[in-house]
Amino acid sequence: MSFNRPALVVLGASAFFYVTAETLPVGLLPQISAGLHVTEAQVGLLLTSYAVVAALSTIPLTALTMRVPRHTLIAATVAIFVVSQAAATFAPTFLVLALSRLICALAHGVFWSVIGPIIARMAPPDQIGRATALTFLGNSLAIVLGVPIGTAVGQWLGWRFAVGMMAVGGAVCVLLLLAVLPKLPPLPRDMAAGSAERLRNAVLILRDGRVARLCLLTAVLVIGHFAAYTYIAPLVRRDAGLDGAGLSVLLLGYGAVGLLTTFLVGRYVDRNPGQLLLILLGAQAVSVALLAPVLGTVPTILAALVWGGAFTAIPVFLGAAPMRVAPTARDAASAVYVVAFQIGIGGGAFVGERFVTNGQLGALPLLAALLAVVAGVLVFTSRSVFPFRLSAEDHHRTSAEAAAPH
């Protein structure tokens, strides 16, 4: 069995637009703030409200859509994304902009819950992590190209034009998904359960200690990251005097290093997930901590680039883990993982807003570094979630468990 590369590429493109649109306000804080007459801190809360809705809706909506063919479901989530971005493009007020993003948030959790199991069904058992890395290059490209180009376009032609680009790109992805994805009917065990039972199973998956540890680690790490990353624009403005085009170039470099790291570690996701994840977490902790003091332009840029290289690759390891630790309940495990990630994004953006409002911008990198260290401790003490070494036999055993009737 080989990769279905066209399908994985289109899934990656869809992920690109989802990630770009979700984080685009980070690069356009000043423009949206000025255009809709609200503070930059309020614009930062766009990420919080989005994440809260995604977190609350992911498990019930994933459970309720278990009987929908997977290829149809993921295309529908991208179609909802298109509608929401079109509404955001023409939003007359900040409230309308926030509400339009919440429409997208409802589909967001389902999109990320099903993309992992879809990837797993289109890749050989011992290459699921590599296939995940290939698809998640879309996430990295969103940071490399999507956010910096969106930021530059938003500064040049207005933030509405940048958001409109997301709607157009998403529409193209919907058409391509319908054309290249194979038929992926629901698994028999999902068809057999009723809606209430599927919802209960999705929640009870947290009783699995490995899934619970994955979710805890994810929430801790992502809270720290997004507390600082949401306010990277004012951080680098304070530390390095970067704004406008300079900020766009830095974000481009941040993502470019992340893309390179994702590519380099992708081939090892299925072999040494624990070891590599610890290295990435260590690099993130050190680099983001260096942004706390005002060290000047060059150290700030170098620290930001290492930070981008480390964190951008980490979701590849986190996203592949539910397929490995819960082979018989991949959709449910993916759903609660997505909830943990969204709690991290929303919680991080909220904590960041509180720090910034109280004049503690410089403390955000220290918080991010501390929580990266805590995540590293969790990885080191959770070998069953992130083994230091995996063999082909391990992968085939997991695949056999996933295929067995339950």
- Report the distance separating Cα 313 and Cα 136, nearest Å: 9
Question: What is the dihedral sign for C-alpha 41, 44, 49, 51?
Answer: negative
Mean pLDDT, residues 115-142 taken together: 78
CATH number for position 313: 1.20.1250.20
**CA dist 104 to 17, 22, 78, 109, Å?**
12, 9, 9, 9
- Report the distance separating Cα 186 and Cα 191, nearest Å: 7
Task: Tally Cβ neighbours within 10 Å of residue 293.
Answer: 13
C-alpha 403 chain-centroid distance:
27
3-class secondary structure, 381: coil
CB-count exposure of residue 45 (10 Å: 0-12, 13-18, 19+): buried
- Report the distance separating Cα 365 and Cα 362, nearest Å: 7
More confident residue, 91 or 373: 373
Lowest average pLDDT, out of 40-49, 287-296, 372-381, goes to 40-49
Instruction: Tell me the CA end-to-end span of the chain in Å, nearest whole number.
Output: 24
> What mean pLDDT value characterizes the chain?
81
Lowest average pLDDT, out of 79-83, 127-131, 354-358, 383-387, goes to 127-131
State how many domains the chain has. Answer: 1
Fill in the amino acid letter for 372: A
Predicted confidence (pLDDT) at residue 85 exceeds the cutoff of 50 = yes
pLDDT confidence bin for 400, thresholds 50/70/90: very low
The boundaries of the domain holding residue 237 are 5-403
- Report the distance separating Cα 247 and Cα 240, nearest Å: 10
Predicted confidence (pLDDT) at residue 22 exceeds the cutoff of 50 = yes
